[in-house]
Amino acid sequence: MGQIKDRADSVYRDFKLDGVLSSGLHEPTKRAIREVFRVIDIAVATAQAGLATVADLTARDAFYAEAANQGKLVYVNNNNGLPDDPANGVYEYVDGAARIAEGFNQGVAAAVQSIIDDAVEDVLRDGDLTLLLSPNLARAEFLLDGKYVSSTGAIVVAPGWKTYRIPVTPGTDYSFGNFVIDVAGYSAFYDAEGETAGDMVAYNGSHTNASLPKTFTAPVGAAWLYITVARPTNSPEDWAQTMINEGAALLPYEPPVDTVTAIAGKRVAGDVDTDAFARLGEDANFDALTASSLATSAIVANLPSGAARPAEVDINEVWIDTSAGGTDAPLKVRLS
| pLDDT single digits (tens) 244-292 | 999 999 999 999 988 888 877 777 765 555 455 555 445 556 666 666 6
Tell me if 257 is assigned to some domain: no
Largest CA distance in the chain: 114
Same-domain check for residues 220 and 174 = yes
Same-domain check for residues 117 and 11 = yes
Same-domain check for residues 167 and 210 = yes
Would you give the DSSP letter of residue 273?
Answer: -
Same-domain check for residues 164 and 226 = yes
> Residue 101 sits in which domain range?
2-127
DSSP of 144-155, one letter per residue?
EEEEEE-TTS-E
Rounded CA-CA distance 183/209 in Å is: 8
Report whether 174 contacts 168 (CB < 8 A): yes
Tell me if 200 is assigned to some domain: yes
Tell me if 145 is assigned to some domain: yes
Beta carbons within 8 Å of 248's beta carbon, 6+ residues apart: 173, 175, 215
Would you give the DSSP letter of residue 76?
Answer: E
Overall domain count for the chain: 2
Tell me if 207 is assigned to some domain: yes
Tell me if 263 is assigned to some domain: no
Least confident of 1-10, 72-81, 211-220: 1-10
| pLDDT single digits (tens) 50-75 | 678 899 999 999 999 999 999 888 88
207, β-bridge pairs:
185
Tell me if 286 is assigned to some domain: no
| pLDDT single digits (tens) 287-311 | 666 666 666 666 777 788 889 999 8
Tell me if 331 is assigned to some domain: no
Rounded CA-CA distance 8/35 in Å is: 9
12 against 178, higher pLDDT: 178
Kindly report whether the peptide bond that precedes residue 213 is cis, defined as omega within 30 degrees of 0: yes
Q: Is 179 left (phi over 0), alpha (psi -120 to 50) or beta?
A: beta
Same-domain check for residues 145 and 121 = no
